[in-house]
């Protein structure tokens, strides 16, 4: 157990639907990062939150949004899902100061059918 909890582990949904992925960071970590991993693209950065505020944005689609709550857990919302959104979605946390490694959760495998 890495200390970063992601739920659900697996999600199968239809095109056009909306899903929410949840992440609880490791105790004490203020930064949460979301990454999408597909076979041909590797780990693609989506978005970062630090202590409740959005701090960095990557190639996140407009159909995707995220937030970090006061208790520091984070949710990634994916809407109007397309077949191409099928991927592993990882959440990671860190101390947020750039000097610490990331701790990844076990990921959510999203399959859009």
Partner 1 sequence: QQPVQSPQAVILREGEDAVINCSSSKALYSVHWYRQKHGEAPVFLMILLKGGEQKGHEKISASFNEKKQQSSLYLTASQLSYSGTYFCGTGEDSGGSNYKLTFGKGTLLTVNP
Cα 21 from Cα 90, distance rounded (Å): 10
Cα 82 from Cα 113, distance rounded (Å): 8
Among 26, 29, 32, 50, binds partner 1 (CB under 8 A): 50
Cα 95 from Cα 32, distance rounded (Å): 9
Closest CB 40 distance from partner 1, rounded Å: 9
* Residue 86 touching partner 1 (CB under 8 A): no
* Residue 2 touching partner 1 (CB under 8 A): yes
**Closer CB to partner 1, 28 or 42, in the complex:** 42
* Residue 89 touching partner 1 (CB under 8 A): no
Closest CB 16 distance from partner 1, rounded Å: 28
Nearest CA to 105 out of 9, 29, 7, 5 is that of 5
Extract the tokens encoding 70: 């006061």
Q: For residue 79, give the DSSP letter.
A: -
Among 38, 51, 80, 111, binds partner 1 (CB under 8 A): 51
């Amino acid at each position: 157990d890495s200390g970063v909890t992601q739920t659900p582990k697996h999600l199968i949904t239809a095109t056009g639907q909306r899903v929410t992925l949840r992440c609880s960071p490791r105790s004490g970590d203020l930064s949460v990062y979301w990454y999408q991993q597909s076979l041909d693209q590797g780990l693609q950065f989506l978005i970062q939150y630090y202590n409740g505020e959005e701090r960095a944005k990557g190639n996140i689609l407009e159909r995707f949004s995220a937030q970090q709550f006061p208790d520091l857990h984070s949710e990634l919302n994916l809407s109007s899902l397309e077949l191409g959104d099928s991927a592993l979605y990882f959440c990671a946390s860190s101390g947020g100061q750039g000097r610490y490694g990331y701790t990844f959760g076990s990921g959510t495998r999203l399959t859009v059918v």
